[in-house]
Chains A and B, each alone.
Chain A
Amino acid sequence: MSSRGPDLDCEECVNAAPYVLGALEDHERFREHLAACASCRAEVAELQLAANLLPEAVPPAVASDELRERVLATVRSEAELLQAAGHRADDPPRRAGLQRPRRLPPFAVGVALAAAVAVLVAIALSGGSAARERVTPALIAPPGARASLRLLGGRGELVVSGMPQPPAGKIYELWLNRGAGSPQPTDALFGVTSRGSGSVGVPSNLHGVKEVLVTSEPLGGSSHPTSAPILRVVVPA
């Protein structure tokens, strides 16, 4: 029996095309239907082949060196931290014959990455000073949020929009990572408007600062981060 006429099999199959294009408004409902309907699954699999071609049909373009450097610098710094954490975990072989698995399970990797972001080793960006205003977008920000660091001379201001409210009883705190040791706390504590916008001046000169981080902290701020940064900007050299 042919499945060419999808409407012959199941009336929901008409949703397969908008679904694979990411254009179906009732996406979740159809996804649930898919779990139960083999003919819709077959239709989605066929049309997905076509949808997979679409990103290849765009005019060619070349990513900038800056993009390459930013991504690779982040990845390398996180890999080094993970390796360091992994070695420590492997360090004390308590009992011969009871080896710990070398590879971290995905959850542990996630936790280690969160720790990596919190600790943050130096990223190999050489020093230098900015004389004109530069705006650097955040490397990491909450989904839907935008954040950027405005730099003029050695001074900086963090500007955010679309940020979620800090959790109840918490406030955002800004931290400086100078590349060695833990991030340094600042007295820059801030909230955001009901629309998620806000700005805060960086209360210290940014020379030598590698990254600006934001975490949620108890009101009054903390001297050591108590949560993983939700926002991270690499200060340009």
Chain B
Amino acid sequence: MKGLRRSPTSSRDKLRKLADEELMQRVAASDADAFEIVFERHVDAAFALAYRMCGRRSLAEEIAQEAFISLWRSGGRYDRTRGSVRTWALGIVHNRAVDALRRDGAHERRRISDEGIAERLEAPDQTDAQAIEKATSEEIHGALGALPSEQRRVIELAYFGGFTHVEIASMLGAPVGTVKGRMRLGLEKLRDHVHAWEAVGT
């Protein structure tokens, strides 16, 4: 990123020590340096989510890019009482990926959901922060994997596949009420994990 104007290193180091929520106040005032730090913290997770959902690198990059530019332009709308910056950013990515999936045919979505990721990714160089993130991600992945398969399946089809509850009911040949019930039971178990992690301070 040669040629782009940047603040002196010292002020950037100071920014790096700030929490996302404080940085977002600066982003709301159009501080590009503050944005860059928030962006660097979450861009990999954003790309990974988009990639998991749509299975195509180019589309996933487009989604992550649009999501962060929208985050930059709407920084003033971030409301810390409604969740972390990361959750907000990943929520934007999720919405955009769902829109993209719903534009595609249902068949294509089915294939991606069933096979998981189509292209193989190179192993990332892991910094400590990424390793920690990965451990958490593995824990969460484990909790999801520990759900009864019929609960996990409806949650994955809904959240990662972008299918509606009615579409899922018809795919699985199950009543709509059953699908909603499985979603609720699965989410309640995941939520219990969250409360347990909070209790031990992780």
Contact = CB atoms under 8 A, between A and B. Distances in A.
Given A25-B165, A61-B124, A71-B65, A49 B191 contact: yes
A53 B190 contact: yes
Given A62-B124, A75-B69, A126-B3, A50 B190 contact: yes
Given A73-B4, A80-B32, 18 more contacts: A21-B155, A21-B187, A22-B94, A23-B163, A23-B168, A46-B188, A48-B83, A53-B143, A53-B144, A55-B90, A56-B45, A57-B137, A68-B39, A69-B1, A78-B72, A79-B32, A110-B73, A124-B2
Interface string B25-56: 00011111001100110011111110110000
B194 interface: yes
Interface residues of A, number: 62
18 contacts: A15-B180, A17-B183, A18-B183, A24-B165, A47-B187, A50-B194, A53-B140, A56-B137, A57-B137, A59-B48, A60-B134, A64-B61, A71-B69, A74-B69, A75-B32, A76-B5, A78-B32, A106-B77
A58 B48 contact: yes
B29 A103 contact: yes
Nearest to B144: A57
Chain B interface size range: 35 or more
B111 interface: no
B143 to A, nearest CB: 8
Interface of A: 6, 14-18, 20-25, 46-64, 66-76, 78-80, 82-83, 86, 103-104, 106, 109-110, 113, 124, 126, 137, 139-140, 143-144, 162
B31 A144 contact: no
Given A64-B61, A106-B76, A137-B58, A144 B99 contact: yes
A69 B68 CA distance: 12
A219 to B, nearest CB: 30
B117 to A, nearest CB: 7
